[in-house]
Amino acid sequence: MLEDTAKECITWAIGKFPNLKMSTGLNVSGQVLIDLAAKAGYQGELLFVDTGYHFPETVKLFSELDQRYPEITFRTLSADSATEDLYLSEPEKCCQINKIDPLQAYLADTRTDAILNARTRASSPTRRDLQMVEAGPTYRINPLTLWSQNDLDTYLAANEIPPHPLYELGFTSMGCWPCTRAIKPGEDPRSGRFVGQGRLECGIWSKPTIAEISHAKENLK
Ligand code: SF4
């Protein structure tokens, strides 16, 4: 049922948005989304923002998935110039420069009208009201909104997709190595992110303004 709904959502997005793209942080939800999108006929780009601080296992997984899904174009984005360990002094600025800006610039340059994304409500307290379709300058389509962690695990196992190698070591939410730790049993899956920074999000999926949402909805009619 969840799988059918997700596939229907992806199929709808493929038909609705001529310049649809997909992004990934290579969490297990991302692995599920890539597989579902390929099965639904998605043949666009998969965007991965290389901050320069990913675990080597994450970078390796990206190239392995490239082999597994030849119908999808894998594209790595990165900042124009390196930032010297900014995560130590100004982590939010580090995320802005190394994560948010490269993605937003690419989406704007390519006039991307919508992006498939693998966030789920269960993945973070900050995502409990996540909707399957989010209007904005680039629509965000979230086919896995209602999936639990168990649903994701079950899908990967049933489809013989090995999860990110750090996942079973407690890295339930994948991020950059300076800001991510494994969680302990009973902790929230998102609690290993942005350790000691008092935040759970990098800001890449911040809500658009009401004016941006209204404008986007007008354009879609
Ligand atoms: S998660 Fe940490 S290392 Fe990665 S971009 Fe943000 S501040 Fe920098």
DSSP state letters, 32-74:
HHHHHHHHTT--SEEEEE--S-B-HHHHHHHHHHHHH-TTSEE
User: In which element (H, E) is residue 22 found?
Assistant: strand 20-23
Q: What is the per-residue pLDDT for 216? A: 83
Distance, CA of 106 to CA of 24 (rounded, Å): 14
Q: What is the per-residue pLDDT for 101? A: 95
CA–centroid distance, residue 99 to ligand 1 (Å): 8
- Pocket lining: 55 vs ligand 1, CB cutoff 6 Å: no
Q: What is the per-residue pLDDT for 212? A: 82
Q: What is the per-residue pLDDT for 3? A: 96
Residue 86, class by beta-carbon neighbours within 10 Å (0-12 exposed, 13-18 middle, 19+ buried)? middle
Task: Tell the residue nearest (CA) to atom 6 of ligand 1.
Answer: 95
DSSP state letters, 153-203:
HHHHHHTT----TTGGGT--S--BGGGB-PPPTTS-TTTTBSTTTT-S--S
CA–centroid distance, residue 120 to ligand 1 (Å): 21
Averaged over successive runs of 10 residues, the pLDDT of the chain (221 residues) comes to 96 96 96 98 97 95 94 95 86 95 96 97 93 94 97 97 95 94 91 91 86 81 70
Q: What is the per-residue pLDDT for 211? A: 83
- Pocket lining: 37 vs ligand 1, CB cutoff 6 Å: no
In ligand 1, the atom with minimum distance to the C-alpha of 175 is 1
In ligand 1, the atom with minimum distance to the C-alpha of 53 is 3
Query: What domains are there in the chain, each with its CATH number?
Result: 2-209 (3.40.50.620)
Q: What is the predicted ipTM?
A: 0.99
Q: Which residue carries 């990913």 as its tokens?
A: 54
- Pocket lining: 130 vs ligand 1, CB cutoff 6 Å: no
Q: What is the per-residue pLDDT for 210? A: 85
Q: What is the per-residue pLDDT for 37? A: 98
- Pocket lining: 103 vs ligand 1, CB cutoff 6 Å: no
Q: What is the per-residue pLDDT for 161? A: 96
Cβ contact 166:174 at 8 Å = yes
Question: CB count, 10 Å around CB of 131?
Answer: 11
Query: Residue 77: helix, strand or coil by DSSP?
Result: strand
Query: Residue 26: helix, strand or coil by DSSP?
Result: coil
User: In which element (H, E) is residue 7 found?
Assistant: helix 2-16
Distance, CA of 17 to CA of 14 (rounded, Å): 6
